[in-house]
């Protein structure tokens, strides 16, 4: 603007001077933008055009970002270490280091490059440095390449290593090289970056010399030293490479300088490089037969230089079976989280801890928890969600768990996954379980394994449960054992069941008891089933009771069954309930199943009382079991109400329930239809087992027709029986003279015609 004003004031009218002023202004603007880009707190400028290895932002907006605000921890010696919260794929294992103090007219080139497989990363500004800092781990390769570009040979005569600073280490994450694709990749957006990392992997060279940075005085490598790799000579037009392994035991951010003495054509040059290193790995080694332990880098990557094994003779078997655990990635797909340490929840509001303590002692704890949760307490929201869930309000529980998750209560993610599983929403369950894993909750890994298994990915489910089992996470070994059993890996399944049972897994104890019983070890079966029953397992109580009853100890067995079955409700109240209509009786407990120990115990109690002639007790226990969908109990109620009580209405009600239960064997439905048709014929005329009742005959024949209709839907061979049942129903309805009976018969006939 100033240049244009001057030109105008001097009455310059040619366009060329104005164009020159505009060009200078544009160039100045670009220069200012470039300087601003170099100085701002963001990703470092990369002149080689490489992709940044970690996200620029450190904000956590709740959307699975791997960038976290770092938290410094300390070692036993007081030195801070990097938290290692985030792990990123190392797609640039070789990084050049800029040379200093070398004139442009030197008749040679000398380059230094850091080749590492594990390195800490610090984002711009984190260590007071304007650029991102890449801190390789001890034992990596420092590659010095000397090239004679002129007509004279070049000789590297000596190297001097000197530590310039030891500073506290803070890092955003760890960059990790990959030798192969991992067994477990938990995020689809991770695949491409992992593939690039595998392609970029190169083994480290065996070092020519170890640079011991902790030595005092500063180490000097010279051609006169015994066994020295120097001098390093490059003939005209050739290159020579020297491989060094920087070594330190210091877990801090160690900054050091390497100075070379190079001779060529009678002159001496002394270039240097400013480098960095640390001994802190921030990683954990997972082995198949050992607990997870922190590991030095050479334990994870055997080709890293190990000062304790300078010849590199460590047995390869020591590293076999190492797992690579990877969790969810960042939004841009470049950052990868390993199982991190569990983060602290967000700070609780003032007074929340005292409010929660008081609430725990109140009978109306929900109100107190709600007040604290609405004031911003994540812990109160989590506890309130549990109470709401126990009342059966899954939607309300989800709302409070989401509040707790927003306050970073790690277990809330897992419980949201559980609620999604109860609704059958596998996509939502997987999202929540992955977030729980990102928060360091291994219980979420078990849940994610269930999701993956349901999606047919048994390999990933196995790996998740195996890793969680190493940390003694409940249900991990049990789930893995069931998977092995289904796959026919019976020996492995048996070992896992036994290990899980010994660790207190009641479901595993039940299974071990079954295995003992199948093997003829009745004492072992009783021991394991009693262990499960004493721990509150209804299934364990059922099997133990069955064993005792068959051994003649009916009294003790019956008490075990009652203790288990009463969780379904009170038998007397179940008998008093008299709903009507074909839909009645199909109530299910939250989390209940027709195959549960409670239901089996209730059914066998019904059998026991039926044999004794105590029909009231039998009806009570069978009603409880039938309400949970137990097929044998439903048919038992039909028979008992019809033949012992003469209550045709209750018999028909439970018969309709039987038709609604999925998975009822076809033979049982066919037997029910045939039996009802016979009863209808006896009710229609004299001389049968029942008093003639045309209206009741229509009701019974209508049920038979409905049963044959459902059988025909699965097998057209039942079509003639259905047609005959409908014809008989129409005839009975006409004979009864009841408008309601004629309407029911017409409806059945219409369904028959509609079916073609």
Rounded-to-10 torsion of CA 213, 217, 219, 221? 180
pTM metric for this prediction: 0.46
CB 17 within 8 A of CB 5: no
Q: What is the DSSP letter of 591?
A: T
Rounded to the nearest 10 degrees, the angle between the axes of helix 378-390 and helix 394-406 is: 170
For the chain, the farthest-separated pair of C-alpha atoms sits apart, in whole angstroms, at 132
Q: How far apart are CA 754 and CA 297, in angstroms?
A: 74
Residues 4, 19: Cα–Cα separation, whole Å: 10
C-alpha to C-alpha distances, 652 to 37, 282, 713, nearest whole angstrom = 81, 68, 21
Q: How distant, in Å, are the alpha carbons of 12, 355, 374, 431, 435 from that of 378?
A: 72, 12, 9, 20, 16
Can you read off the two tokens belonging to residue 36? Answer: 């601003």
Higher pLDDT: 407 or 590? It is 407
Q: Which of 588, 612, 615, 609 is nearest to 599 (CA)?
A: 588
CB 247 within 8 A of CB 296: no
Of 240-254, 425-439, 585-599, which gets the smallest average pLDDT?
585-599
| Residue matched to tokens 């390093």 | 232
Length of the chain: 756
pLDDT at 633: 84
Share of the chain above pLDDT 70, in %: 72
Alpha helices in 519-665 (DSSP H): 522-534, 538-550, 554-565, 571-576, 597-612, 615-627, 631-640, 648-660
719 Cβ contact partners less than 8 Å away, ≥ 6 residues apart: 712
Question: Burial of 364 by CB count in 10 Å (0-12 exposed, 13-18 middle, 19+ buried)?
Answer: exposed
Q: What is the 3-state secondary structure (H, E, C) of 471-486?
A: CCCCCHHHHHHHHHHH
* 145-188 pLDDT tens trace: 999 998 899 999 989 999 999 998 887 777 888 777 665 545 54
Looking at 314-430, which runs of residues are DSSP E strands? 335-336
Q: What is the C-alpha separation between 578 and 603, in angstroms, rounded?
A: 20
In angstroms, the CA 544 to CA 525 distance is 8
Q: What is the pLDDT of residue 145?
A: 93
Q: Identify the weakest region by mean pLDDT among 249-263, 477-491, 493-507.
A: 493-507
Task: Give every CB contact of residue 599 below 8 A, 6+ residues apart in sequence.
Answer: 565, 568, 592, 593, 624, 625, 628, 629, 630, 633
pLDDT the model gives residue 625? 79
- Residue 317: pLDDT band (50, 70, 90) is very low
Exposure string of 496-533, with b = 16+ CB inside 10 Å and e = fewer, is bbbbbbeeebbbbbbbbbbbbbeeeeeeebbebbbbbb
Q: How many CB atoms lie within 10 A of CB 654?
A: 24
How confident is the model over 710-728, as pLDDT tens digits?
888 888 888 998 888 888 8
SS (H, E, C) 462-530: HHHHHHHHHCCCCCHHHHHHHHHHHCCCHHHHHHHHHHHHHCCCHHHHHHHHHHHHHCCCHHHHHHHHH
Quick one: tokens of 32?
Answer: 């200012």
Cis peptide before 217 (omega within 30 of 0): yes
Closest CA to 375 of 343, 407, 352, 358: 352
Distance CA 534, CA 227 (A): 71
Residue 743 pLDDT > 50, yes or no?
yes
Contact 150, 264 (CB under 8 A): yes
Instruction: Report the alpha-carbon distance of residue 293 to residue 303 in Å, rounded.
Output: 20
Give me the residues paired with residue 234 across strands: 154
Q: Which token pair is 406?
A: 């927003």
Q: What is the mean pLDDT of residues 378-384?
A: 84
**Is the separation of the CB atoms in 86 and 66 below 8 Å?**
yes
pLDDT confidence of residue 409: 83
Contact call for residues 631 and 669 (beta carbons, < 8 A): no
Bridge-based pairing state of the strands 80-81 and 154-167: unpaired
22 pLDDT more than 60: no
- Per-residue pLDDT, 19: 56
Note the helical H segments in 301-364.
Answer: 352-360
The CA-based dihedral angle spanning residues 588, 591, 593, 596, taken in that order and rounded to the nearest 10 degrees: -130
Mean of pLDDT values over 319-341: 39
Coil, strand or helix at 197: helix
3-state SS, residue 62 = coil
Backbone angles phi, psi at 652, to 5 degrees: -65, -40
3-state DSSP assignment of residue 368 = helix
pLDDT for 277 equals: 94
* ∠ CA 310-311-315, rounded to 5°: 105
Q: In the predicted model, is pLDDT for residue 483 greater than 70?
A: yes
Rounded distance between C-alpha atoms, residue 650 and residue 476, angstroms: 45
* H or E, element range at 240: strand 239-247
Between strands 209-212 and 239-247, the pairing is parallel
pLDDT of 39 above 60:
no
Using a 10 angstrom Cβ sphere, with 0-12 exposed, 13-18 middle and 19 or more buried, the burial of residue 428 is middle
Of the listed ranges 170-174, 212-216, 233-237, 726-730, the one predicted with least confidence: 170-174
pLDDT of residue 333: 34
Instruction: Encode pLDDT of 413-470 as tens digits.
Output: 889 999 998 888 999 998 888 888 777 777 888 888 899 888 888 888 887 888 777 7
Q: Phi and psi of 256, rounded to 5°?
A: -140, 160
Q: Is the pLDDT of residue 548 over 70?
A: yes
Q: Which residues have a Cβ under 8 Å from the Cβ of 403 and sit 6 or more positions away?
A: 373, 378, 381, 385
């Amino acid at each position: 603007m100033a240049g244009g004003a001057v030109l105008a004031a001097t009455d310059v009218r040619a366009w060329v001077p104005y164009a020159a002023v505009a060009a200078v202004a544009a160039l100045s603007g670009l220069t200012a933008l470039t300087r601003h880009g170099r100085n701002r707190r963001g990703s470092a400028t990369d002149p080689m055009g490489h992709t940044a290895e970690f996200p620029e932002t450190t904000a956590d907006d709740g959307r699975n970002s791997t960038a976290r605000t770092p938290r410094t921890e300390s070692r036993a010696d007081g030195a801070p270490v990097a938290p290692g919260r985030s792990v990123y794929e190392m797609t640039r294992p070789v990084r050049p280091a800029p040379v200093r103090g070398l004139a442009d007219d030197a008749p040679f080139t000398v380059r230094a490059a850091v080749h590492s497989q594990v390195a800490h990363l610090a984002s711009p500004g984190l260590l007071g440095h304007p650029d991102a800092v890449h801190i390789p781990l001890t034992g990596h390769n420092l590659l010095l390449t000397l090239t004679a570009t002129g007509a004279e040979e070049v000789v590297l005569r000596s190297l001097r290593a000197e530590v310039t600073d030891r500073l506290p280490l803070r890092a955003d994450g760890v960059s990790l090289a990959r030798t192969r694709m991992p067994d477990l990749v938990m995020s689809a957006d991770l695949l491409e970056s992992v593939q690039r990392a595998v392609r970029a992997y190169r083994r480290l060279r065996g070092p020519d010399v170890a640079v011991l940075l902790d030595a005092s005085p500063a180490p000097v490598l010279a051609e006169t030293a015994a066994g020295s790799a120097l001098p390093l000579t490059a003939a005209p037009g050739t290159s020579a490479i020297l491989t060094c392994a920087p070594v330190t035991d210091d877990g801090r951010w160690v900054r050091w300088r390497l100075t070379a003495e190079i001779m060529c054509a009678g002159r001496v040059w002394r270039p240097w490089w400013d480098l960095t290193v640390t001994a802190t790995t921030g990683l954990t080694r997972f082995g198949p037969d050992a607990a997870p332990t922190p590991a030095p880098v050479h334990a994870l990557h055997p080709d890293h230089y190990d000062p304790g094994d300078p010849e590199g003779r460590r047995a390869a078997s020591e590293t076999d079976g190492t797992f690579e655990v990877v969790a969810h990635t960042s939004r841009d797909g470049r950052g990868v989280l390993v199982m991190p340490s569990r983060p602290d929840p967000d700070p609780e509001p003032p007074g929340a801890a005292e409010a929660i303590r008081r609430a725990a002692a109140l009978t109306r704890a929900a109100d107190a928890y709600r007040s604290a949760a609405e004031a911003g307490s994540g812990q109160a929201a989590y506890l309130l969600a549990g109470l709401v869930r126990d009342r059966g309000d899954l939607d309300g529980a989800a709302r409070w768990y989401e509040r707790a998750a927003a306050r970073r209560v790690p277990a809330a993610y897992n419980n949201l996954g559980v609620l999604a599983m109860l609704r059958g929403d596998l996509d939502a369950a997987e999202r929540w379980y992955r977030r729980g894993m990102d928060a360091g909750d291994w219980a979420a890994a078990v849940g994610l394994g269930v999701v993956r298994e349901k999606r047919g990915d048994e390999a990933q489910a196995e790996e998740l449960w195996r890793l969680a089992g190493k940390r003694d996470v409940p249900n991990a070994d049990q789930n893995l054992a069931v998977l092995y059993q289904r796959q026919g890996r019976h020996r492995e399944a048996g070992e896992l069941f036994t290990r899980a049972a010994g660790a207190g897994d009641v479901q595993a104890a039940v299974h071990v008891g079954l295995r003992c019983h199948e093997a003829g070890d009745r004492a072992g079966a009783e021991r394991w089933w009693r262990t499960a029953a004493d721990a509150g397992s209804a299934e364990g109580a059922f099997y133990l009771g069955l064993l005792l009853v068959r051994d003649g100890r009916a009294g003790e067995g019956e008490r075990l069954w009652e203790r288990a079955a009463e969780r379904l409700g009170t038998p007397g109240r179940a008998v008093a309930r008299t709903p009507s209509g074909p839909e009645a009786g199909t109530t299910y407990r939250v989390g209940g199943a027709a195959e549960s120990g409670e239901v089996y115990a209730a059914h066998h109690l019904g059998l026991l009382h039926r044999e004794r002639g105590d029909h009231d007790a039998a009806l009570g226990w069978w009603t409880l079991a039938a309400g949970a969908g137990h097929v044998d109990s439903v048919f038992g109620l039909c028979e008992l109400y019809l033949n012992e009580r003469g209550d045709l209405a209750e018999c028909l009600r439970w018969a309709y329930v039987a038709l609604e239960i999925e998975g009822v064997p076809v033979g049982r439905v066919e037997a029910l239809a045939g039996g009802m048709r016979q009863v209808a014929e006896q009710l229609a005329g004299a001389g049968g087992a029942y008093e003639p009742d045309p209206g009741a005959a229509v009701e019974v024949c209508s049920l038979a027709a409905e049963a044959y209709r459902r059988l025909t839907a699965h097998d057209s061979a039942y079509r003639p029986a259905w047609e005959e049942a409908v014809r008989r129903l129409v005839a009975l309805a006409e004979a009864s003279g009841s408008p309601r009976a004629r309407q029911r018969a017409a409806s059945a006939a219409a369904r028959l015609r509609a079916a073609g």
